[in-house]
């Protein structure tokens, strides 16, 4: 028996024959062209065909995996009409006078690499979506669409990687598990695998060789273990674990659709953190009671220019509509530090985490700030929106931000544009300064949300991006817990609610402390909602 270790991204056990995915491949040759306008027209026609395919795929997948899960293909379709996507392709055709297939592959690969090189994990994982859309257009241009086959018998399916389009089209009865050499934990492929209940492991690298095809294997999607040619004892162990997982899954489902209550009846709001429209699907599937943190800065990343008011408005509107009256807390852009966008033209800094970021950019570039606020207010007519300012360190900063908010409201009223005039306005507590003066800030805010990731690094003076300091980073440090308690007391003394949207919110070793401290809301990654509800119900 051979044991290979990867990274589990979708829990579950599978036993079966290992089979490598058979794709209909297409090759792209660099051909010189003479009729440039005709080639551009051929490219645009392929884009239209791709959009039509994605529209049909979205309809089909909505029936198969739910409307929210099919949203990705709407986003892929929107990508086809995004100038950042297609203009570089047209530029290569016109400037280099080469065929559309090669131009799409070249420009698509470059854009995907731009995403893959980003510091933010969420943006890194969008590279797969860019490749998926580019491959679709190339396949249409070359007349060889990517047909995928998992065979006729149920198998453990292996490949270099799986695209989102491939994953959702697999016949669940024929695919026992997915294993790949590459991949990302929060890619749409991984999300779809979890949605469809397919165990999945990524990151095997070259150890997952084609020479293993046809061999019996055992998959543990939770631990990331792949056993090649397992013996009877190992098979029995995996089967027992499968039975236990199924029992746990059924037990977890008992908490779906229920309020989050402790044994004594204390109500806790259990929300989800998201970064895009497509993440709403995970929040809904996870049974979140609302969105406690919509990271709006992702609208600004991975592009060449600022998103306009209309683009932002449509995004916020869509999220609010999908959440159907549940609260959506939209954090204004937290650009800077580890989230850089070159077109902002921010100066080079010795320590970006202590520099120009978040609300500081908004207050020094009010027109940019007002564009986002106008979009949020306009969208507020379509759901239960709240606005949250990041990195507030003083009452003066909060008052300046609220003054700009008032200007935006006045402008919209004069223009006769509908919006909800009672949108709650809160702040993040993510610096020791904000926690220490939280009694003063509470007089000017409708709610608090504690960003524990930044609060930890600023309290301990430890860069959270520096792996060398991990042994010194005590996320349960007494100073952090005291600042959380202080903020909570001051919020309640002022009669406003307080939540946690940082990673500590999902730390089950602190759940009892948060409830005893008086935290009203926890906002976590969507997959953590049901497990956390189960824990809270037993406290």
Please give the model's pTM, rounded to 2 decimal places: 0.68
pLDDT tens digits, one per residue of 366-391: 999 999 999 999 999 999 999 999 99
Q: In this prediction, what percent of the chain has a pLDDT beyond 70?
A: 94
For residues 280-297, give the mean pLDDT: 91
Binding site per annotation, positions for phosphoenolpyruvate: 295, 331, 453-454, 464
SS (H, E, C) 119-155: CCHHHHCCHHHHHHHHHHHHHHHHCCCCCEECCCCCE
Distance CA 204, CA 213 (A): 15
Q: Which of 334, 408, 406 is nearest to 367 (CA)?
A: 408
How far apart CA 286 and CA 279 sit, in angstroms, is 11
Averaged pLDDT for residues 217-234: 94
User: Does 17 have pLDDT greater than 90?
Assistant: yes
Q: What is the pLDDT of residues 419-453, one digit of tens each?
A: 999 999 999 999 999 999 999 999 999 999 999 98
Phi, psi at residue 50, to the nearest 5°?
Answer: -60, -40
* Residues tagged in the binding site annotation for Mg(2+): 430, 454
Binding site, by residue number, is 295, 331, 430, 453-454, 464
pLDDT of residue 340: 72
Helices 366-379, 395-414: crossing angle, 10 deg rounding: 60
Contact 114, 67 (CB under 8 A): no
Establish whether 188 is a catalytic residue. Answer: yes
- What is the C-alpha radius of gyration for the chain, rounded to an integer number of angstroms? 25
User: Are residues 507 and 256 in contact, defined by beta-carbon separation less than 8 angstroms?
Assistant: no
Kindly report, residue by residue over 345-356, the tens digit of the pLDDT: 888 877 777 888
Q: Is the predicted pLDDT of residue 208 greater than 80, yes or no?
A: yes
Closest alpha carbon to 520 in 493, 496, 537 = 496
Check whether 321 has a pLDDT greater than 70: yes
Mean pLDDT of 18-33: 79
From residue 519, alpha-carbon distances to 140, 386, 446, 489 in Å are 53, 18, 15, 9
**Residue 492 annotated in active site:** no
Tell me the C-alpha distance between 133 and 40, whole Å: 18
Alpha carbons 127 and 371: distance in angstroms, whole number: 28
| Residue 343 vs residue 451, higher pLDDT | 451
User: Domains, the chain, ranges and CATH?
Assistant: 2-24+147-231 (3.50.30.10), 36-142 (1.10.274.10), 269-537 (3.20.20.60)
Say how far apart CA 4 and CA 73 lie, in whole Å: 33
Catalytic residue among 76, 99, 188, 528: 188
Look over the chain and give the mean of its residue pLDDT values, rounded to a whole number.
Answer: 89
Decide: residue 357, CB within 10 A, 0-12 exposed, 13-18 middle, 19+ buried: buried
Q: Which long-range contacts (CB under 8 A, 24 or more apart) does 31-36 make?
A: 31/98, 31/99, 31/101, 31/102, 32/97, 32/98, 32/99, 33/93, 33/97, 33/98, 33/99, 34/97, 36/93, 36/94, 36/97
Residue 122 has pLDDT above 70, yes or no: no
Q: How far apart are CA 219 and CA 199, in angstroms?
A: 7
Catalytic residue among 227, 362, 488, 501: 501
User: Lowest mean pLDDT: which of 132-141, 408-417, 419-428, 435-444?
Assistant: 132-141
Q: How far is CA 57 from CA 26, 61, 129, 180, in A?
A: 21, 6, 15, 24
Assign 49 to helix, strand or coil: helix
* Strands 22-23, 216-220: pairing kind: unpaired
């Amino acid at each position: 028996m051979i044991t290979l270790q990867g990274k589990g991204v979708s829990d579950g056990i599978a036993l079966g024959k290992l089979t490598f995915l058979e794709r209909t491949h297409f090759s792209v040759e660099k051909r010189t062209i003479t009729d440039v306008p005709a080639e551009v027209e051929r490219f645009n026609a392929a884009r239209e065909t791709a959009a039509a395919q994605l529209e049909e795929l979205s309809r089909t997948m909505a029936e198969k995996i739910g409307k929210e899960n099919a949203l990705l293909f709407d986003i892929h379709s929107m990508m086809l009409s995004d100038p950042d996507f297609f203009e570089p392709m047209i530029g290569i055709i016109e400037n280099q006078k080469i065929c559309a297939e090669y131009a799409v592959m070249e420009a698509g690969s470059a854009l995907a690499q731009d995403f893959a090189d980003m510091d933010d994990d969420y943006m890194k994982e969008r590279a797969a979506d860019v490749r998926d859309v580019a491959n679709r257009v190339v396949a249409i241009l070359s007349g060889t669409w990517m047909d995928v086959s998992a065979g006729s018998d149920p198998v453990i399916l292996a490949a270099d990687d799986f695209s989102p389009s491939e994953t959702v089209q697999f016949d669940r009865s024929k695919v026992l598990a997915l294993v790949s050499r590459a991949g990302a934990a929060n890619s749409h492929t991984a999300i779809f695998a979890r949605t469809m209940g397919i165990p999945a492991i990524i990151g095997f690298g070259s150890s997952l060789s084609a020479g293993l095809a046809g061999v019996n294997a055992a998959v543990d999607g939770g631990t990331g273990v792949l056993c090649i040619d397992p013996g009877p004892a190992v098979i029995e162990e995996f089967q027992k674990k499968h039975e236990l997982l199924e029992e746990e899954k059924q037990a977890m489902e008992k908490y779906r659709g229920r309020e989050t209550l402790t044994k004594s009846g204390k109500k806790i709001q259990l929300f989800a953190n998201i970064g895009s429209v497509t993440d709403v699907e995970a929040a809904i599937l996870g049974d979140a009671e609302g969105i406690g943190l919509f990271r709006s800065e992702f609208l600004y990343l991975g592009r060449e220019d600022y998103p306009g008011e209309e683009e932002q408005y449509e995004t916020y509107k869509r999220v609010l509509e999908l959440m159907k009256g549940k609260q959506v807390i939209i954090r204004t852009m937290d650009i800077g530090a580890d989230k850089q966008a070159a077109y902002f033209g921010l100066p080079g800094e010795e320590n970006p985490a202590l520099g120009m970021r978040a609300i500081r950019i908004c207050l020094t570039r009010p027109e940019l700030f007002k564009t986002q606020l106008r979009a949020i207010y306009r969208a507020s007519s379509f759901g239960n929106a709240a606005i949250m300012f990041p990195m507030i360190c003083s009452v003066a900063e909060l008052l300046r931000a609220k003054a700009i908010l008032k200007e935006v409201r006045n402008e919209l009223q004069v223009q006769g544009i509908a919006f909800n005039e009672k949108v709650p306005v809160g702040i993040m507590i993510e610096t020791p300064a904000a926690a220490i003066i939280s009694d003063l800030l509470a007089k000017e805010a409708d709610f608090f949300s504690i960003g524990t990731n930044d609060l930890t690094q600023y309290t301990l003076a430890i860069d959270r991006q520096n792996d060398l300091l991990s042994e010194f980073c005590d996320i349960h440090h007494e100073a952090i817990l005291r600042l959380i308690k202080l903020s909570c007391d001051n919020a309640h003394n002022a009669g406003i609610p307080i939540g946690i949207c940082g990673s500590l919110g999902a730390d089950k070793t602190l759940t009892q402390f948060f409830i005893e401290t008086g935290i009203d809301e926890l906002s976590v990654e969507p997959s953590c909602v049901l497990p956390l509800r189960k824990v809270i119900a037993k406290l």
